Amino acid sequence: MHSFVRAMCLLIAVATFAGCSTSRTTTTPRTAIEQALVSQSAEWALEKFEDPNMSGKTFTFDDSQFDAVDKAFSLSALRLQLLKFGLKEAKADEAELIARPRSAVSSIDDSSFLIGIPELPIIIPGAGSVSIPEIALLGYNKQIGMNRMGMYAAERESGSLAHDFGISASRAHYVRWRVLFFISFRHTNLEEPYRRAAKTGVNVE
């Protein structure tokens, strides 16, 4: 029995030295990366909206059809986009147009790949259980934030369609790579505060 315990302890020590694990530490419900993936993909989707050539028109928002992750930020970005187009925000009973945004997709897809040994729980008789860290020859964890949204504007008084902005979509990605046990780096198209990664494509952590 003592020989078995010693062997397990040695195996754990070796695995701890050689292994590489991915941690997810956050004191908030979502990590900063998750928030950036959703918000930046939303911004990039909105940038694809074409100018409706309605400069000077006044508008108000009806967000009753809009439900998305980070809803407040997306609505604020939508308002900003309309202001950039030259429209002016007004009170609900004074606006010429009612802008109605819609969200079809607002989420994050997660995927992973590993060539090596995943993290393994080991039960040691009389000593409880421990976990052997992941030993990765090659692996990655990928997160892709996606947003697909649309918007149309209706005449406030008549209710007729004034302009259809259509549907636009975009995505942002963040990939953590692990190579040869202890080498790790990331690949992302996120912007600030991940500016270096966005410019070079690869940023060693």
Mean pLDDT in residue range 156-162: 95
Q: pLDDT, tens digit, for every residue of 25-56?
A: 667 788 899 999 999 999 999 999 999 999 99
pLDDT-derived band at 23, boundaries 50, 70, 90: low
User: Full-prediction pTM beyond 0.75?
Assistant: no
Secondary structure in 3-state letters for the chain:
CHHHHHHHHHHHHHHHHHCCCCCCCCCCCCCHHHHHHHHHHHHHHHCCCCCCCCCCCEEEECCCCCCCCCHHHHHHHHHHHHHHCCCEECCCCCCCEEEEEEEEEEEEEEEEEEEEECCEEEEECCCEEEEECCEEEEEEEEEEEEEEEEEEEEECCCCCEEEEEEEEEEEEEEEEEEECCCEEEEEECCCCCCHHHHHHCCEEC
Q: pLDDT, tens digit, for every residue of 56-99?
A: 999 999 999 899 988 999 999 999 999 999 999 999 999 999 99
Q: pLDDT, tens digit, for every residue of 179-204?
A: 887 788 889 999 877 655 444 444 33
The domains located in the chain, with CATH, are 29-204 (3.40.50)
